Amino acid sequence: EVQLLESGGGLVQPGGSLRLSCAASGFTFSSSSMTWVRQAPGKGLEWISEIVDSGATYYADSVKGRFTISRDNSKNTLYLQMDSLRAEDTAVYYCIKGGWGDYWGQGTLVTVSS
Amino acid sequence: DIQMTQSPSAMSASVGDRVTITCRASQGISNYLAWFQQKPGKVPKRLIYASSSLESGVPSRFSGSGSGTEFTLTISSLQPEDFATYYCLQHNSYPRTFGQGTKVQIK
């Protein structure tokens, strides 16, 4: 059974940093693309980043230069390093297996506020 | 970047109604489109992939069609558990993009 467990969310001040983690199990993590999608309160879904099996990375313009996606295949873990956080980054962040949303984690809430 | 324009943004329908939601891509995306359903407070669930392939376990009243720039999600006979928000996602090119969502409410 595929399981994705996000952690690392919380309250952070504007300009601060946070690192999200996603522990994966139930599939061959190293062979899978992995994606982060977020949803601001009361808003729609926003694709923000993907890392493919080769390690190539892709970002939405809204986070490019501030967020870094990475993976540790030895730990079956996906990461999202978020720097220079802004109020508009407040959202639930979902970890997703694959590039087109077949399995989703439960999400972790990030709140950027002073 | 490819823009996905979803319509309508909201609609009211009755149980038993046929419902159609449309996503238009700003450029051709072949059949690289998925549809998701999200209920309040819940994680989105994929219904359709590759434009028209039904996810395992999803009721057959859901169907998807389209290729290129125009896509539709159809619910043939709306059921009480189908009241939710629906999103399309293009995965033809980066950055991937979602439609803005369609909220299906009870009439």
B20-42: string of b/e by CB count within 10 Å (b at 16+)?
A: ebbbbbeeebebbbbbbbbeeee
- Of the residues B49, B91, B100, the best mutation for testing chain A's interface (the one with the most A CB atoms within 10 Å of its CB) is B91
What is residue A94's predicted lDDT score, i.e. its pLDDT? 98
pLDDT of residue B107: 86
Residues A101, A75: Cα–Cα separation, whole Å = 22
Alpha helices by DSSP H, chain B: none
Q: Is the pLDDT of residue A99 over 90?
A: no
pLDDT > 70 in chain A, percent: 100
Instruction: Name chain A contacts of B101, Cβ cutoff 8 Å.
Output: 44-45
Is 90 exceeded by the pLDDT of residue A56? yes
Share of chain A above pLDDT 90, in %: 96
The answer to whether the CB of A96 falls within 8 A of the CB of A106 is no
Chain A residues within 8 A of B38 when measuring between CB atoms: 45
Report the gap between the CA of A73 and the closest CA in chain B (Å).
23
Mutate which of A47, A61, A96 to test chain B, going by most B C-beta atoms within 10 A? A47
Q: How confident is the model at residue B55 (pLDDT cuts 50, 70, 90)?
A: very high
Among B46, B47, B44, B41, which residue's Cα sits nearest to residue B60? Answer: B47
What pLDDT is stored for residue B99 in this prediction? 98
Distance from CA of B79 to the nearest CA of A (A): 23
User: Is there a cis peptide before residue A14, judged by omega within 30 degrees of 0?
Assistant: no
User: Cβ contact (<8 Å) for A100 and B95?
Assistant: no
Q: What are the pLDDT digits (tens) for B19-53? A: 999 999 999 999 999 999 999 999 999 999 999 99
Q: Where are the alpha helices (DSSP H) in chain A?
A: none
**Mean per-residue pLDDT over chain A, rounded:** 97
Contacting residues of B for A99, CB less than 8 Å apart: 91, 96
Q: What is the CA radius of gyration of chain A?
A: 13
In this predicted structure, what is the pLDDT of residue A38? 98
Tell me, what's the pLDDT at A84?
98
Length of chain B equals 107
- Sole residue written with tokens 């949803």: A39
pLDDT at A100: 86
| B97 vs A contacts (CB less than 8 Å) | 47
